[in-house]
Amino acid sequence: AAKKGQDSGDSDQPEFTKMEIKVGKIVKVWNHESADKLFCEQIDLGEESGPREIASGLREHYTLEEMQDRLVLVVCNLKAAKIVGFVSNGMVLAAKSEDGQKVELVTPPERSSVGERVFIDGLSGEPISSAQVKKRKIWEAVSRDLKTADGGVATWQGKTIQTSVGPCKVASLVGAPIS
């Protein structure tokens, strides 16, 4: 019988469930002072510690107004990364067209709750620590199978990613990788 590790996740736990992807709301957004492709955002994830600061390379694709107050999906259990001097504590998910010209944010349904963890029907498991995610390259493994399907629905291995009120989607891209 396999022994369960407290932090490592069960060996037969689906990789997707080891990631902590939550609904966030952009409460503040500004242009990075020295990187012309980057937005800096404060994103409310319903955490006691308050909003997280996250950098996203979306300035060529969205305006500040389009980003402000927007609901997004945030990968929460990644190690903090310094991006052009700005410490980013997570990653906002978006789909990208093959030629890289079009990028669309993955958006949860309107009535989704800030802080809700997204899920896939039939898959369960607790997220693992950011140190374990990095060490075991879990995000690399999961992100390989993240794509948009018909109707722009976000999927992992062809299964719909959703909140309690419905599927998460992009505006128009189909068959596009999500990262």
Residue with tokens 């990968």: 75
Distance CA 29, CA 11 (A): 39
Report residue 42 as tokens: 């404060």
Residue with tokens 């978006």: 94
Percent of the chain with pLDDT over 90: 93
pLDDT of residue 68: 98
The mean per-residue pLDDT over the stretch 164-173 comes to 98
pLDDT of residue 148: 98
103-135 burial by CB neighbour count: b if 16+ within 10 A, else e? bbbbbbeeebebebbbbbeeeebebbbbebbee
pLDDT tens-digit map of 12-71? 899 999 999 999 999 999 999 999 999 999 999 999 999 999 999 999 999 999 999 999
Per the prediction, the chain carries an average pLDDT of 94
pLDDT of residue 10: 55
The mean per-residue pLDDT over the stretch 82-97 comes to 96
pLDDT of residue 81: 95
Q: Taking 60 as the threshold, does the pLDDT of residue 7 lie above it?
A: no
Q: Could you tell me the pTM of the whole model?
A: 0.93
Pairing mode of beta strands 39-44, 154-156: unpaired
pLDDT of residue 3: 36
107 pLDDT band (50/70/90 cuts)?
very high
pLDDT of residue 172: 97
**How are the residues of the chain apportioned to helix, strand and coil, as percentages rounded to the nearest 5?**
15, 35, 55
Residue with tokens 């955490």: 47
pLDDT of residue 176: 97
